[in-house]
Amino acid sequence: MTAKPNFDFEKEGVLTIGHVDENEVDRIAASFKGRSLFITGGTGFLGKVLVEKLLRSCGELKRIYLLIRPKKGKDPQERIKDIFQNVLFDQVKQLRGEQQILQQVVAIAGDVLLPGLGISEQDLETLRNEVSIVYHCAATVRFDEPLRNAVFMNTRGTKYMLDLALTLKHLEFFAYCSTAYCHLHVKTLYEKPYDPPANPHQVIQACEWLTDEEVSLIERKVLGDIPNTYAYTKSLAEALVVEKFNELPAVILRPSIVIPIWKEPIPGWTDNINGPTGLLIGAGKGVIRTMYCNSSGYGDFLPVDIAVNGILVASWRNITAGTDSTNRVAHMTSSNDIKVSWAEIIELGRWVIEHKVPLNGVAWYPGGSMKSNYIVHYICMVLFQWMPALFVDALLILLRYPPVLCRVQNRIYKGFEVFEYYANNVWSFDNSEAVKLRKLMNNKERKTYVIEKIDLDLIDYFTNSVLCARRLILKESDESIPAAKRHMKVMWVVDKVYKGIWLFGILYMLYRCFFAS
């Protein structure tokens, strides 16, 4: 069993809020009062948290219109009700009542893949007459998305949104949610536009002319040094927004790697296993035992509630001061305040899963390490991931059960092809805009919309994250934790025996080679 990790971060500059005067005005909430918003991607991870925060902290807004993709047999407004059944919205429903928030959130049937966003003329007229704030968050975040699909979703979809924005009669603010990791050739990213890797209009046109198969044949050549279609198409989309800076009150917001909620409304909440959460679950289940990674390197991670706070604070500043007097590009990043290495993430996650929140059905005892040498990593992957997977799947087949672990290992292998690029490179991000905004906020706003360096207890944070992943994604009840702890002890013994057999076998072979004769 591993010892409890110790993390002593520099405390200077950590958020400390003075006395909050009850008479202080929440100017951020006031900037949304009586306004109607249009949001794409509102059913995604970031989008859900954005909608919840708006309803909870800026409740005097008039209406939120959400672009919802139609589904057979289900009315778009019914899908809104389904979204509100998520535990994420329990607190705001208790505060304000479900019926009231359902009246404020209206579904607009449409799809960013369709011309004109697939919105009916009647709904378009409503948006044109009512909407003054737009958040374009819709995107495919799959790094292995085929290029043609990614261009249509991330790049052409943004073009369609900009075309719609030009027709809105009362538009005061258009925010494009990009990513801090879309200009990967720049090791220190500043809050400014960068040239795209290609002409976005020509890329869109080419993808419309060619078939999926034809685009896939030239995908690698088109991407060049860019490792995936996500970064490529997001950088193209940024260029489209920059083109409209003179015509629209548009800004580009670049959050970094968005991870589970830090504090509000549910610590640790997530609806996916992307990023560190997926690594923790994979390692916790014992199916990830080696990674090719610069262990001292780090990624820039940002809890999703802090990212949403940053979006709202940036919105307030641009709405009240005007986009002409503010920077049109802003980063929402954390590594200038807190750096957590990949090694620290793995060490901490392993300790939390071993000692506090073990997972059910662990295939092998959590272990392994990061490797800086790819050959060593590959050998360990074969010995400690693929061979146990083959062994377990062979047993399952003999017992007339379908094999599982080899399929899992194949998905892990493909995922690592993407992860290894980011894990073996380090980027820095300027966050001057966030520093400026912090100085403009009063104590009430600083408490409600935290965008400052936080006193983050990493053990508590990862414990909450694993607990929520356990409950909400893996559907494992808290009552099963004691049994999971007992199973973990059994797997610890199995792990030691397996390693002992391998060690004995190696020593025996060495003995036969050098001493038997």
Model confidence at 464: pLDDT above 70: yes
> Could you tell me which residue, 148 or 340, shows the higher pLDDT?
148
**Would residue 129 count as lying in a domain?**
yes
User: Which domain range does residue 111 map to?
Assistant: 27-266+298-338+427-453
DSSP state of 324: G
**Would residue 208 count as lying in a domain?**
yes
The number of folded domains in the chain is: 1
**Would residue 366 count as lying in a domain?**
no
Cβ-contact 96, 55 below 8 angstroms: yes
Q: Sheet containing 105-109: which strands, arranged edge to edge? A: 105-109, 63-68, 36-40, 131-136, 173-177, 250-255, 329-332
What residues contact residue 210 under an 8 Å CB cut-off, 6+ apart?
148
Take residue 366 and report the two structure tokens written for it.
């959590």
Rg (CA), the chain: 25
Beta pairing, strands 63-68 & 36-40: parallel
What DSSP line would sit under 254-315, residue for residue? EE-EEES-SSSSSTT--S---THHHHHHHHHTT---EEE--TT-B--EEEHHHHHHHHHHHH
Cα–Cα distance between 404 and 396 in angstroms, integer?
8
Cα–Cα distance between 263 and 364 in angstroms, integer?
32
**Would residue 413 count as lying in a domain?**
no
CATH number of the domain enclosing 119: 3.40.50.720
Reported as half-sphere exposure (CB side, CA atoms, 13 A), residue 1 has a value of 12
DSSP lists the bridge partners of residue 250 as: 174
> Could you tell me which residue, 340 or 46, shows the higher pLDDT?
46
**Would residue 475 count as lying in a domain?**
no
> Could you tell me which residue, 443 or 71, shows the higher pLDDT?
443
**Would residue 282 count as lying in a domain?**
no
**Would residue 375 count as lying in a domain?**
no
413-435 residue pLDDT tens: 877 777 888 888 899 999 999 88
Model confidence at 175: pLDDT above 80: yes
User: Which SS3 state, helix, strand or coil, does residue 174 take?
Assistant: strand
Which of 103-112, 286-295, 371-380 is least confident? Answer: 286-295
**Would residue 398 count as lying in a domain?**
no
- Mean pLDDT rounded to a whole number for the chain: 87
Residue 12 has what pLDDT?
41
Cα–Cα distance between 103 and 85 in angstroms, integer?
15
Indicate the pLDDT class of residue 455, thresholds 50, 70 and 90. Answer: confident
